[in-house]
Amino acid sequence: MFEPKFTYTNKIVNYIAKIASAKEVISNAKIIPLYDTKLKQDAFIRSSHYSTSIEGNPLNLDEVKTLIKNNQEPTTKAEQEVLNYFNVLNQLNKYSDKIITKNTILSVHRDLTKDLLKNPEYEGKFRDTLVYIGNPHTKEVNHVPPAAYKVPHLVEELLDWLNNSTDEMYPVIIAGILHYELVRIHPFVDGNGRTSRLMATLILSTHKFNISDYFTLDEYYNQDRQAYVDALKSADKNHDLTNWLEYFCQGVLYSIDKVKSEVLNLDQITSKYDNTIELTPNEISVLKLLEDKTHIKNKDIQEMLDISPQASYKIIRKLKNKELIKSVGKGRNTEYININHQP
C-alpha cells in the first residue's frame, strides 16, 4: 500500500497559508470573461513552452505563441510536442471528472506523445523494459526506476491512495505527491516528466483549485532546471518527500503571486468603469499602460501588443468612442491620454 512520507514543516505550512490567501484574492477579483479567456490562453501557452523546454524542446516562447495562435500544422517533432501539450491542457476536463484511473494516466500520455515516439505502440502504454534517468551526455545515472513488471501495481497503489486517502489534504500537497511518485515510478519509456506535470495540474483542477488555469508551474521549474531535478532527487534515498514538497509549494506560491499581481491590476482598471463599459483585453492593456505612462503614442501600443499600426489605431478609435481617452497634438506628435487627465 502506498503511503507518502513527509513532514508538515513551518515552510510548507507558511507556503500553504500564503497560497490560500492569494487564491482568495484572485477568486474575489472582478475579471471580465474576455480577460478570463486571455489569462487561461496565455497560461496554457507558457506551460506548453516551459514544460517541453525542460525536456530539451528548442522552440522559444515567441515561436510557441506564433505556432499556437496561428493554429499552424506541425512540421517538426518540436512543434508536434508543443501542440500535443497545449491540446491536452486545453481539454483537461475530458480526462477525468472526480476519480483518476489508470486509463486517465494512459490517455494523457497517449495524447502527449502522439506522433513522437519511435515506436507508436508505446503511446499510452506502460513500459515493458528497464529505463534510466540521467544525463545522456555525461552518461551519469541519477535514478533507476522500478522494474517494468512492477509498474502497473505501483500505479494502482498510487491511485488507490489518491482516490481514497486524500480527503483531508490540501490540493497542492496532493498534486506534489502525485508529481513526485509518477516521476519515481517512471511508468513510460518516454514522456514521464510531461505526464507527471500535467497530472499534477489535473489534480488541482479536479480538486476545484479553480485558478490553476491562470498560472503555470512549469515556468518556475524551467528557471532553474537543476534545482527542479535536485528537489525530485532529494526524496529518492529515504523516500521522504518533505524537501520536494517544500520546493513544490514554493513554486506554486511563486506562480500564484504573479497571477495575483496581474489580476489585481485588472481589477483596479475594470472597477473604475463599473459594468457600464465593455472592455476587451487589449483595451484594458492600453488603459493599464496609460496608468503607468499618462501619455502614450500609437507605436507604444504596437510594441506592447505586437500588432500593426492599423490594429493599434482601431483600438484607439474604440477607446475614444467610449470616451475613455483623447488625443493631444497633431501628426507624428499625436499622443493619447486618459479623458480625465489634467495636463
The pLDDT of residue 221 is 94
- Model confidence at 118: pLDDT above 70: yes
pLDDT at 103 over 70: yes
Average pLDDT over residues 299-314: 90
pLDDT score recorded for residue 227: 94
Residue 161 has pLDDT above 90, yes or no: yes
d(CA 202, CA 28): 23
Check pLDDT > 60 for residue 248.
yes
What local confidence, expressed as pLDDT, does residue 210 receive? 63
* pLDDT tens, position by position, 130-152: 887 766 666 677 778 999 999 99
pTM, two decimals, is 0.83
CATH of domain 10-267: 1.10.3290.10
Instruction: Dump pLDDT digits (tens) for 21-58.
Output: 999 988 888 776 767 788 889 999 999 999 999 999 99
Residue 251 has pLDDT above 90, yes or no: yes
Average pLDDT score over residue span 218-232: 92
- The pLDDT assigned to 4 comes to 96
pLDDT at residue 253 tops 70: yes
Residue 267's pLDDT is what? Answer: 75
Sign, Cα dihedral of 210, 216, 218, 220: negative
Confidence of residue 99 (pLDDT cuts 50, 70, 90): confident
**Cell, residue 127:** 513500459
Q: Residue 283: its pLDDT value, please?
A: 86
What contacts 81, CB < 8 A, 6 or more positions away? 52, 55, 57, 116
What is the pLDDT at residue 160? 96
Provide the residue ranges of all domains of the chain, joining segments of one domain with +.
10-267, 275-338
Length of the chain: 343
Q: What is the pLDDT of residue 201?
A: 93
Alpha carbons 307 and 126: distance in angstroms, whole number: 45
* pLDDT of 185 higher than 80: yes
Can you give the pLDDT at residue 306? 86
Most confident of 111-120, 216-225, 268-277: 111-120
In whole numbers, what is the pLDDT of the chain averaged over residues?
89
Backbone angles phi, psi at 177, to 5 degrees: -65, -45
Q: How many helices and strands (H and E) does the chain possess?
A: 14, 4
CA distance 307 to 1: 56
Residue 342 pLDDT > 80: no
Split at pLDDT 50, 70, 90, the class of 262 is confident
What is residue 211's three-state secondary structure? coil
Q: Where are the alpha helices (DSSP H) in 29-76?
A: 33-54, 61-69
pLDDT at 98 over 80: no
What is the C-alpha to C-alpha distance for residues 8 and 238, in angstroms, rounded to an integer? Answer: 17
Question: For residue 32, what pLDDT is reported?
Answer: 67
The architecture of the domain spanning 275-338 is Orthogonal Bundle (1.10)
All three cell numbers of 8, joined, read 508538515
The per-residue pLDDT for 138 is 65
Give dist(CA 15, CA 9) in Å, integer.
10
Most confident of 234-238, 279-283, 307-311: 307-311
Query: Please, what's the largest Cα pairwise distance for the chain?
Result: 75
